[in-house]
Structure 1
Amino acid sequence: MALWMEAGSEPKTESEVVDLEAISALKQSTAIELKENGNEYVKKGKKHYSDAIDCYTRAISQKALSDAEQSILYCNRAHVNLLLGNYRRALQDAEEAIKLSPTNVKAFYRAVKASMSLSLLAEAKSYCEKGLELSPENEELNKLAGQIDLLKSEQDRRKAEVSKSVTAVKDMISAFEERKIKIGKALYQELTGVKKPTLDKNNILHWPVLLLYAEVMSSDFIEDFCETDMFSTHLDEMFSESSPPLPWDNEHAYTRDALELYYEADSGVRLSKREIFHCLADGTAAANLEKCDIEENDAAEESSSSTTVLGGGGMRWIKVNERRPLYDVLKEPNLVVPGIPVFYVVSKKSSFYEEFKSGNWAPFGKYTSSSSRG
């Protein structure tokens, strides 16, 4: 009997020929019946989509229909996969349908829909153009062509924004490296939010700077501190004769002539360039970028310092020379900038001053924010 013939062998008897024709007819009949059943399941709605896919799959496996008919089976299965959100499978089915029948316009349409859902706009455009070559007046394909152009325009705009953001972040990282500034994990964000430095067209860094009054754990915020500015300039403005006294300074100790400025030495872990990239990219178009071509650099750090150290304990408070520009202070080898520069303000006239100088004081809890003076 033909059922026992080896695959690929030719029938030798009239009986075998008759058997093969019968088997082929049965497979054709089965495939057509399965196709019709699949179509009925689609009409019944979403609960029956999996049954429809099963019917189309079994019909395809019969391998009993012509290429054009097999193409329709793949195209139908692509349609159901689209309805189910199985876009990758839908695209594979549509592509197989096109291979079997390059004139199957519906297959091109479904390839376009699947490609668009997968954000494969170049592929979607290509399939759409080929479909329109076959059917120039096809209303659905023409509609999709317009949608693709809009999506492509939006995608290009998005890519341009990401590229611009990446360039800005990389420029910022280069500026840190050139100035030998070390960046650590951001602190005090309950006071500063997500403030970040900016780089102007002249390659000058502008920093938001947080001033913490250690004595009472309150703060002031300078929105724009140019790296070439000296601390004395800002403090002169903040504590001028016309400025109101600090609301909590009952002793009137915080006068301009009594102020001293400090930073905390060796208080954080320096972030890698990749970590800095992701911190700076947060909130920009490049925020969700998974990969960035940033090369790490383990260059040796300088160890010279021109600051005065207070305290002999684990906490090291280093006095800032107010006549030095900001960039000169930030490049100190023992200073890790906690996201943005943070400096502590104390008064020589205050009773708190001796406690601070001894190194026995350490920041704790949350700081309360006072009005910004910058």
Structure 2
Amino acid sequence: MSDSDSDTEPDVQIEEDSNAGLHPLFWDAIPDGAEQDPNWQALEALKNESTLEERAENFKVQGNRKLKTGLEVNNKHILREAVDFYSNWRKCLEDGLIAQKLDSDNVKAYFRAAKAALELGQFKLCREQCEKGQAKDSKALQFSSILKSAQERESIELQKKTAEELRKMAHLAPFQKLADAILSRGIKVCLPQVRLEDRYHPTLDEAGHLQWPVMIMYPEAMQQDSIECFHEEDTVAAQMDEMFGPDTPPLSWDSKGEYTRDRVELYYLSYAGRPLDREQLILAVQGKWPDGSADSGPQRYGQKAAMWRQVDQQMSLLQLLTCEDYVVPGIPLLFAIAKGTEYKKRFLSQGMK
């Protein structure tokens, strides 16, 4: 037998290149000799063509994605730890209370229950367990330590709660002031008839005057316009003069030239909905409109049936909004119609007093 036959040669495993045959976009890692690959060279050329700003923005986007992923993983880990923490202490509390029922003189059972209640933030129960434990063994000093910790933590929790309540009050104060200003004028507000963007809401200026965004609808053309800031003391006529003045270009869709200053009439829908109460209005001016019900919108019949009413343009906005039958549908909503047209007849045939 030859030496070559008698010696056992070790098995040599050749590591396969996991990137073999793949485009560089799909490589797990950059292998040795990558610069010899034509596709890799093309990618590098593309990368180098970008400006410093573009590359910086690209790295920023990638970094933000990685950060977001890391935060999500970290938050899940924290939540899992919190669940485990409270689950363990709840079990400890339950075991302590059960042990007391089995043996009311078991001081350790009171200690476990008191400690668990402390960690769970159940300070009243913690004090009760400490007092019961001390009654069983007045020499057990650990209860005094737990009571002290409970008092300190409860004080901190109370401070946090008070600070949070003050923060909420400070946040709500301007909205409450705005809602009260609306109600004190006798203005009634109901749910919106159209979808409103967050920026569409009334404001109070430094002098305490209300300013409203007003939406102008052109039902004939299915178009709309808006007045961003309509001071409550300004007249409707003054605003119309600005919108349809001689220096103002005609409406792009008004090919017949019917919507001119002397022909435009404004209408509103009377009793547009059920007025909101103060608490609902405070939420509404924050953009948190309450859910509507079957009877929250305009009614077709009865003493408060919805009707088209023509606007007296000599009125101030405040005078208009305080009309007995005017209920503001989120924000003032006015319908512009050109007089002397067939459409006006059809529009008003839907009902008007």
Q: Which residue of 1 aligns with 2:100?
A: 60
Q: Which residue of 2 aligns with 1:326?
A: 317
Amino-acid identity (%): 25
TM-score, scaled relative to structure 2: 0.57
The CA distance in 2 between the partners of 1:46 and 1:168, in whole Å, is 39
Contact 2:190–2:272 (CA under 8 A) maintained in structure 1: no
Match of 2:256 among 251, 261, 275: 251
Contact 1:265–1:335 (CA under 8 A) maintained in structure 2: yes
Q: Could you list the per-position Cα deviations for residues 277-302 of structure 1 after superposition, in whole angstroms to 9, with x for gaps in the alignment? A: 44335559xx9xxxxxxxxxxxxxxx
Are residues 1:73 and 2:78 paired? no
Give the Å deviation of 1:54: 5.3
Contact 1:315–1:359 (CA under 8 A) maintained in structure 2: no
Give the Å deviation of 1:226: 0.9
Report the count of equivalent residues: 248
Contact 2:114–2:127 (CA under 8 A) maintained in structure 1: yes
The CA distance in 1 between the partners of 2:197 and 2:86, in whole Å, is 51
Contact 2:113–2:129 (CA under 8 A) maintained in structure 1: no
The CA distance in 2 between the partners of 1:182 and 1:316, in whole Å, is 17
The CA distance in 2 between the partners of 1:45 and 1:334, in whole Å, is 59
Are residues 1:104 and 2:140 paired? no
2:189 alignment partner, SS class:
strand
Q: Which amino acid aligns with 1:96?
A: Q
Q: Which residue of 2 aligns with 1:213?
A: 218
Give the Å deviation of 1:228: 0.4
Contact 1:79–1:110 (CA under 8 A) maintained in structure 2: no
Q: Could you list the per-position Cα deviations for residues 149-182 of structure 1 after superposition, in whole angstroms to 9, with x for gaps in the alignment? A: 9x93x65554334334544444334433442222
Match of 1:341 among 307, 332, 343: 332
The CA distance in 2 between the partners of 1:54 and 1:157, in whole Å, is 33
- Counterparts of 1:342-357 in structure 2, within 5 Å, are 342-348=333-339, 350-357=341-348
Q: Which residue of 2 aligns with 1:301?
A: none
Q: Which residue of 2 aligns with 1:26?
A: none
- Counterparts of 1:356-367 in structure 2, within 5 Å, are 356-359=347-350
Give the Å deviation of 1:328: 0.7
Q: Which residue of 2 aligns with 1:304?
A: none
Q: Which runs of 5+ in 2 are unaligned?
A: 1-83, 135-139, 291-304
Match of 1:185 among 173, 188, 191: 191
The CA distance in 1 between the partners of 2:87 and 2:201, in whole Å, is 52
1:324 alignment partner, SS class:
coil
Q: Which residue of 2 aligns with 1:92?
A: 125
Contact 2:117–2:125 (CA under 8 A) maintained in structure 1: no
Q: Which amino acid aligns with 2:234?
A: D
- Counterparts of 1:98-137 in structure 2, within 5 Å, are 100=134, 104=143, 106-108=145-147, 111=150, 124-125=154-155
Contact 1:232–1:322 (CA under 8 A) maintained in structure 2: yes
Contact 1:98–1:107 (CA under 8 A) maintained in structure 2: no
Q: Which residue of 1 aligns with 2:200?
A: 195
Contact 2:234–2:317 (CA under 8 A) maintained in structure 1: yes
- Counterparts of 1:129-208 in structure 2, within 5 Å, are 148=156, 152=159, 155-188=161-194, 190-193=195-198, 195-208=200-213
Contact 2:94–2:113 (CA under 8 A) maintained in structure 1: no
Q: Which amino acid aligns with 2:328?
A: V
Give the Å deviation of 1:47: 8.2
Compared with structure 1, are the counterparts of its residues 161 and 112 closer, same or farther at alpha carbon in structure 2 (3 Å cutoff)?
same
The CA distance in 2 between the partners of 1:170 and 1:178, in whole Å, is 12
Contact 2:271–2:326 (CA under 8 A) maintained in structure 1: yes
Give the Å deviation of 1:252: 2.4
Q: Which amino acid aligns with 1:175?
A: A
- Counterparts of 1:284-295 in structure 2, within 5 Å, are none
- Counterparts of 1:10-49 in structure 2, within 5 Å, are none
Give the Å deviation of 1:239: 2.6
CA root-mean-square deviation: 3.8
The CA distance in 2 between the partners of 1:58 and 1:271, in whole Å, is 52
Give the Å deviation of 1:345: 0.8
